[in-house]
Structure 1
Amino acid sequence: MNKNLLSLADLSRKEIEDLISFAEKFINEDGSFKKESLFPDKTIANIFCEPSTRTKSSFEIAAKNLGCNVLDFDTESSSLQKGESIYETIDALSLMGVDLCVLRHSESVIHELAQYIPEMTFINGGEGSISHPTQGLLDLMTIIQHKKTPDDQNIVIVGDLDHSRVTASFLEGLNNFKVKSLTFSGHPDMCKSFQNHPQGKYEPDLDLAIEGSDVVMALRIQHERLAAEDIVDIDEYKYE
């Protein structure tokens, strides 16, 4: 397995299942998380160039549970504000001894960074509207926990699909499984890329979309990624 986690397209079915199986070993019977000091000599930097609560906090808690030293990097008070590039910033952190970087960025830079700084390990914590592989793994893990496997399931994805990096990563991971059906649903102006999609069918009527479904993934409107011309009236979106 590659030392970096940049995209679910890079993982095989076995690698996805092995990662999920390994992750489940850190969950206690009551749902709490085990704390095992497996990596006391490793330092992790969380570099989030976009706002985040759940992803950033999850990475910090997980790293501390595994015994890592965690650098909560504040982009607003860093040299990024003085014109330093993200490449220069992470290269400097690597020279200081940071072993792994969790990066969220509005642009697709993490793949180049992984090549530019090969001694650093990278985890993609969100890449514009392009991908969010760790969230995709969590979604697959949830399906496996409740349905044993994504195979032979009727899966529906509903919401603002065009602007969702979660959708893109989930579909990359889902490519490794044999689902029974995959349906996309949502406001037509937010699902333009999914009305003729090779992996599934588009059904704008939510009631029809979820009929007979085994799994429904609901996605929020990505307000922060909408251009002015893409904004949909919220009441129209809810009740149309």
Structure 2
Amino acid sequence: MQDNLYDEMYQLEEKHWWFKSKRKIILELINQELSGTENEILDCGCGCGCLLKYLKIYGNVKGIDYSARALAYSKKNFDGDLVQSDLLKKVELPDESVDLAIALDVIEHLEDDELGLKNIRRVLKTNGKLLVTVPAFKQLWSYHDVEHMHKRRYTIKQLERVLKKSGYSIAYISYYNFWLFLPIYVARKIKNKINDCESDASMPSPFVNFLLEKIFSTETFLCRHRVKMPVGVSIIAIVNKIIENRN
């Protein structure tokens, strides 16, 4: 991701409708998956670290990111362990040491998404879980994907395929950002047509920001009850580490 986008992210993460709604959904699912306060949690691609501070109630949290600029911002949000690391190389953590790994809008940046997922899998405990989100549908490709240096957008079948090849079983997978799919699809098609390069993350008016947050946030209920939405701007999945037969 281009360095200047971390500047934008740091300014928007606490107040922009997309970040706030996504965070509500993620935290709701994590709350269902984790019990107690002694879990080992790894945020893979922690960005500017906004989520890290919310995760501290669940246990010991570590953040890793490829970008030094992102980690500099993370230090402003989070006082825990932060490491600069490349998911295409061995993550500098012991084998089977993590209860929950999180990779939010990360693996679409990797040349080899399967390798990145396998490197995460190595550090997961026997009963470890991974929560992952990715952008959906090649038809939604726009300047947003270009400036964020995405390698691909996924369908559920494509994401399921790479997750299973990487050694995971699927507990829950769904498209999300369902209600806003059609307007976002139309908006991106128009922007592509007129060659509009304005960032998708620009801050809307307070009323629009409030309205979009309320609409997107209703999907917290759907994800809580593991409803599988038929389309969406993104995909969300919770997967379990498959234990290899060592006999």
The TM-score, its normalising length taken from structure 2, stands at 0.33
Q: Which has the larger radius of gyration?
A: 1
**Which structure shows the bigger proportion of residues in strand conformation?**
2
